[in-house]
Amino acid sequence: MPKSRVVGGTHRVPGDKSITHRALLFAALAPGRSTVTGALTSLDARSTARVLRQLGAEVSPLRQGTPVEIRGRKRLVRSDTALDCGNSGTTARLLLGLLAAQRFSSRVTGDASLRRRPMRRVTDPLVAMGARVTAGANDGLPLTITGGALQALDWELAVASAQVKSALLLAGAAGGVEVRLTERAATRDHTERFLRHFGFDITVRRGVLTLKPTGQFAPFDITVPGDPSSAIFLLAATLLADRGDVRIAGVGLNPSRTGFLAVLRRMGAVIDEANVTESFGEPLGDLITQPAMLVSTDIAADEVPGVIDEIPMLACLAARARGTSRFVGLAELRVKESNRLELLATNLQRLGANARVDGDDLIIAGRDAPLAGRVVTHADHRIAMAFTVLGRVAGNRIRVDDPACAAVSFPGFDVALAALDQGTR
């Protein structure tokens, strides 16, 4: 009989990835000195810092525990070398929006995973605004973008993507033109919150988001909340433990990011929120939870944009829940850092769980028999972390091929996970 795992304590997760990227980008556009406290220092955040330095912004090294100082400038400068966004889709897409408003050419590239990811969803509307883009035969990086005088945009977004939306808003705000976007579904709204802070007029009415170029970029000081998309891994590890009580303090609670809390609650988790406050227009607070007997749940297609980064962990939890879960409409998961839809299903199957892909849906029949085997991550950080958490369940023997790739979004993930443990009884 395996011993029961006891978890406890108060923990923190690294700064929010989406907010960190945006804070660095906006600070680079604001002439003067800005500071970002609690920034994520992961590989993805470093990619954004690196490309902004290449464009003439001064960005201090990203070090855990030290605020980042940025000296932005009114006009960015051309880089002689390619802007390498590494593994980071957010860096690449938001950067393209920013570059569309700069009067010079830039070469943008990324690692093998990022070079496979679709970019026309951003470059097509940027070209409609007046940017010039020279790309290879396929829909991706590397490409060259030449920015300049832009014109107003009225565009229907074909996919629900905060990265695309943000790129176009950035182009409009930096280029001084109006942008009207018809959205299929609401997505994370951090960019809108920043832009409102700078005085841009942003309205959302019946699925149409309008930006009027009324604002101006000015230096700012921000404290970044903990990343809810990282917190889910510690919450899930707690739910799967046997005893104890865990608090994750200072987590971002922007409603466009917390859809996963509703899903976890439907699965039987009790999650309390405490010390809720607001910082730089973003709500944050503590999340408190305990181990739970999980039951299956369905995720409807219109719920997916709100839980897009949490699907890997939710799928692994569904593999341990009583009953069959169906996650509907996951096409976008195919174009993340890996083809997450296929990887989730094949890895769960390889471990002996009952999972399959049906069209764009993922169907998982939960069971509590031990799972064992090797997980192939394709260097996808969220796949690595989700299966590492599943591997903590007593009796499971799961080996993750590349646990170190967690550093893309969650530096110190293994240490944070181990810190939950208060022993076994």
Q: What is the closest distance, in whole angstroms, from the C-beta atom of residue 100 to ligand S3P in the complex?
A: 17
Closest to ligand S3P by CB, 230 or 289: 230
Catalytic one among 16, 189, 227, 309? 309
CB-based burial label for 362 (10 Å; 0-12, 13-18, 19+) = buried
Residues found near ligand S3P in the complex (CB under 6 A)? 18, 89-90, 161-163, 166, 188, 308-309, 332
Q: Is 124 a catalytic residue?
A: no
**Complex with ligand S3P: residue 286 or 309, whichever CB lies closer:** 309
- Token pair of 124, please? 């097509």
CA-closest candidate to residue 380, choices 357, 406, 344: 406
- Cβ proximity to ligand S3P, 244 vs 306, nearer residue: 306
Q: Which is nearer to ligand S3P, 192 or 286 (CB)?
A: 192
Q: Where are the beta strands (DSSP E) in 290-371?
A: 324-327, 354-358, 361-365
| CB-nearer residue toward ligand S3P: 227 or 286 | 227
Cα torsion angle, 63, 64, 69, 72, sign: positive
3-class SS at 37? Answer: strand
CB of 115 to ligand S3P, least distance (A): 15
Helix (H/G/I), strand (E/B), else coil: 264: helix
Q: Which is nearer to ligand S3P, 18 or 238 (CB)?
A: 18
| CB neighbourhood size of 181 (10 A) | 21
* Contact (CB, 8 A) for 315 and 355: yes
CB of 123 to ligand S3P, least distance (A): 14
**Where would I find the H helices in 200-339?**
228-239, 259-266, 311-318
Task: Quote the least distance from Cβ 373 to ligand S3P, whole Å.
Answer: 27
CB of 248 to ligand S3P, least distance (A): 19
Closest to 264 (Cα-Cα) out of 311, 227, 302: 311
Q: How far is the CB of 340 from ligand S3P (least distance, A)?
A: 10
Q: How far is CA 241 from CA 293, 322, 419, in A?
A: 10, 16, 13
> What's the CA gap between 294 and 320, in Å, rounded?
7
Active-site residue set: 309
